[in-house]
Structure 1
């Protein structure tokens, strides 16, 4: 924005502004501002379950002119009138809603629109009215918000028959160029979203390698993080089927046999994944789990899952985290001889043999 500077070009009247400012809008007094949320395409992150909001305030009082590009591809200089809080109160400002987006976009970029509608009745004098526009930081888990300050210019002109009307609305950067969109990063560059692999391992000489083991998986926001329980995460099963899991603790059942795995995508550090196994500790199995690939690349020591109520808890803080659940079962090879009673059996045999010998000698003596 140019502030109190001498212009080489003459200040153009506000009536010409309507003819020179180019902006895609639903109507002259209504504007749609594209909102984009790019994600990490390797993580298939589901859309943020939120509505992003704008904050509009009165324009800076020390900004008296602005250079804007018109639809004649020429830069023109316009005199500004700072907008007022009362005018803003009369505007309709709608947020960009992403909560109902259920399909992952091919390019990994979710899109919606902000909306601003400016009624003619807010103005009584022609002019170019200025306002500042910022995105509110809602603190949504994994999102890097747009921290820039933008400027909204409302062109008001006389209308036939008397009175005035809003002839155009434009949102521009500090240098006067119209913005293309407002973008928030959701893992595309800020590395806030991660994947988790849950894999099954069956070991031991009596392990059933082809048996399907049933797991229950749920996700919850960590306490005191403020993360949304409505956020969903994509789960891909061992056969490539996909379903979404909400972070409200609802359990989803999956089956895995030895070496099979499921994947969960788009996790931020504000969520915990809970996994239990229906067959844990049953049928002679010892069930344990390990976690590989936390933020430091460490592997946890094996922890026990004693029964179906026990849960492994994973907080994926880096890409490539893996939870491995191990069922181990071993049988002792039978030999046909119970070695622990063999000495006693031998004593019985020897005692019997001695008794027979004694009786024979007694009979011979009596004869």
Structure 2
């Protein structure tokens, strides 16, 4: 008898759980963030930054206030009968956190009719250097739930179930992408790399201890929010110049064998290296005159390798190596005759010897 009662209790509990589970499944949403939100309140889903090389700790994503546009074939939302679409606006914004997981905040409207509401979201192009636009489509599904405990009459929406999923447009309708039916985050990719500038001094008159002056100029068609570092952080202009470029520059000095590095340079940002003669940039194959205190000046021929360029997805190891070579050579007057005089002298000696032999032979014949 006790076993029968125990079995009956288990069956009853199973029936209750079976009745309850569909309601939970219908509103299953953002994992650890929970599946219900109070009506007319906000919920969040993560914005996760990934980089083109997670092993490179010098690549740090910038702060970028990402936004999403609600779109659904020109309609803001699909909604149950009786709801008023003008009152169903969904607002999505993100926190601006450099290099870290942040979040999108979704503000729910005040639902007055129970039912299922779906919103299609697409991230707007952030227009920030190095940040890849996320072109995926996302769907926020909201179940506005009737508060059955409230018996005062009329609709009483207290809680809403929410779910974020990635979708694609198929035959005019939105279909969940396999494996993307329940998401807790949206990824954004940041791409950057490193440029190194190395100095070489060559030639028999080249002074390897001399510090030569350089300037590097960075230009971007998009605003640069990244922390790009050389010997200090580059300070980019917040407004474009007359050429539509956002620019920054730094000066530094290098002697032979020394290297200067630009880190966290976003893809697409152009760098240009100049060796400086005072305030004048020396062009490739140009000359640089260095005046030394109490001594004659030296003239160097300047040769650049990878003087200007930008990183992209095809850049090997997301690294560019630029070099600047200064060559100073001279012919040394050692007192040794280095032209064709020795050969003329040798010919004269041979000719003289030949004439001596001829004269001697004639005298012997006489």
Give the TM-score, by structure 1 length. Answer: 0.60
3-state secondary structure, aligned to 2:133: coil
For 1:19 and 1:180, locate their aligned partners in 2 and report how far apart those are by CA, in whole Å: 12
Question: Residues 251 and 149 of structure 1: is their aligned pair in 2 closer, same or farther, counting only changes over 3 Å?
Answer: closer
For 2:308, the equivalent position in structure 1 comes to 313
Q: Which moved more, 1:10-19 or 1:265-274?
A: 10-19
1:132 matched to 2:120? The reply is yes
- Among 37, 40, 52, the alignment partner of 2:49 is 37
For 1:257, the equivalent position in structure 2 comes to 255
- Among 151, 168, 173, the alignment partner of 2:139 is 151
3-state secondary structure, aligned to 1:81: coil
CA displacement 1:88-121 (0-9 Å, x = unmatched): 43x33213434xx2xxx5xxxx42211101133x
For 1:337 and 1:19, locate their aligned partners in 2 and report how far apart those are by CA, in whole Å: 94
Gaps of 5+ in 2: 1-17, 167-175, 238-245, 283-287, 291-297, 340-366
For 2:289 and 2:114, locate their aligned partners in 1 and report how far apart those are by CA, in whole Å: 81
- Among 162, 169, 179, the alignment partner of 2:162 is 169
Question: Residues 236 and 137 of structure 1: is their aligned pair in 2 closer, same or farther, counting only changes over 3 Å?
Answer: closer
3-state secondary structure, aligned to 1:195: strand
Contact 2:30 2:182 in 1 (8 A): no
State the Cα distance separating 1:255 from its structure 2 match: 1.9
Question: Residues 145 and 228 of structure 1: is their aligned pair in 2 closer, same or farther, counting only changes over 3 Å?
Answer: closer
For 1:38 and 1:229, locate their aligned partners in 2 and report how far apart those are by CA, in whole Å: 20
For 2:64 and 2:28, locate their aligned partners in 1 and report how far apart those are by CA, in whole Å: 37
Contact 1:15 1:157 in 2 (8 A): no
CA displacement 1:114-157 (0-9 Å, x = unmatched): 1101133xx22222322222223445544443333322122323
For 1:229, the equivalent position in structure 2 comes to 223
For 1:250 and 1:332, locate their aligned partners in 2 and report how far apart those are by CA, in whole Å: 42
For 1:267 and 1:137, locate their aligned partners in 2 and report how far apart those are by CA, in whole Å: 20
For 1:117, the equivalent position in structure 2 comes to 107
State the Cα distance separating 1:219 from its structure 2 match: 0.3
For 1:272, the equivalent position in structure 2 comes to 270
For 1:263 and 1:315, locate their aligned partners in 2 and report how far apart those are by CA, in whole Å: 14
State the Cα distance separating 1:186 from its structure 2 match: 2.4
For 1:364, the equivalent position in structure 2 comes to none
Contact 1:46 1:234 in 2 (8 A): no
* Greater C-alpha radius of gyration: 2
Contact 1:232 1:244 in 2 (8 A): no
For 1:166 and 1:34, locate their aligned partners in 2 and report how far apart those are by CA, in whole Å: 21
For 1:198, the equivalent position in structure 2 comes to 197
For 2:93, the equivalent position in structure 1 comes to 94
For 1:208 and 1:182, locate their aligned partners in 2 and report how far apart those are by CA, in whole Å: 55
For 2:173, the equivalent position in structure 1 comes to none
3-state secondary structure, aligned to 1:86: helix
Give the TM-score, by structure 2 length. Answer: 0.60
Contact 2:120 2:139 in 1 (8 A): yes
CA displacement 1:254-275 (0-9 Å, x = unmatched): 2211111122234455322122
For 2:182, the equivalent position in structure 1 comes to 178
For 1:81, the equivalent position in structure 2 comes to 80
Contact 1:133 1:152 in 2 (8 A): yes
For 1:12 and 1:126, locate their aligned partners in 2 and report how far apart those are by CA, in whole Å: 19
For 1:326, the equivalent position in structure 2 comes to 325
For 1:332 and 1:168, locate their aligned partners in 2 and report how far apart those are by CA, in whole Å: 86
Contact 1:23 1:170 in 2 (8 A): no
1:24 matched to 2:65? The reply is no
For 1:334 and 1:218, locate their aligned partners in 2 and report how far apart those are by CA, in whole Å: 43
Aligned length: 272
